[in-house]
Amino acid sequence: MTTYLARPISPTVLKELRSADDAGRRTVPVTDQEGGAPLRCCLRRSAPGERIALVSYAPLRRWAAENGVDPGAYDEQGPVFIHAEECGGPDGDALPFTHAHRTLRRYSADGRILGGRLVEPGDFEAGFAEAWAEPGVALVQVRAVEYGCFLYEVRKG
């Protein structure tokens, strides 16, 4: 069985996002009164009372820049929750947020979308195996079905 690693937003990018987001807006921290926000810095849900921020994030744009490609029309940005201050990152390497339906979105090395697949809880391993078996897949993103929000990137480990 292949292991797939969930990749949170990197500490370097988080530092940038805690100042200004990918839409150029100043980051505004808030105290999360209820908890439950899916945090992309440590890949867990927030606890009541934690300081978090909702920021605009462009995951494919940043990946494309690192890889020297232009994502063209596939460049997008959307809202993600992060801790308002530096955190310890993920606790372990288990895949997070697998309790609900998710979309696995596949991208090529030139930043173009190759397709996607709806996965059900308990079916993530098969979904990743299918995604990585497709020729030309360089990146897989896990996204929420309800709003299409980016949750995390997955790479083979």
What local confidence, expressed as pLDDT, does residue 148 receive? 87
Q: What is the pTM of this model?
A: 0.92
The CA-atom distances, in angstroms, between 141 and each of 27, 49, 90, 137 are 24, 29, 17, 11
115 Cβ contact partners less than 8 Å away, ≥ 6 residues apart: 105, 106, 134
What local confidence, expressed as pLDDT, does residue 94 receive? 86
For residue 20, what are its two tokens?
Answer: 């200004």
What local confidence, expressed as pLDDT, does residue 1 receive? 54
What local confidence, expressed as pLDDT, does residue 93 receive? 84
List the pLDDT tens digit at each of the 157 positions of the chain.
567 889 999 999 999 999 999 999 999 999 999 999 999 999 999 999 999 999 999 999 999 999 999 999 999 999 999 999 999 999 988 899 999 999 999 999 999 999 999 999 989 999 999 999 999 999 999 999 988 899 999 976 5
DSSP states of 24-41: SPBP--EE-SS---EETT
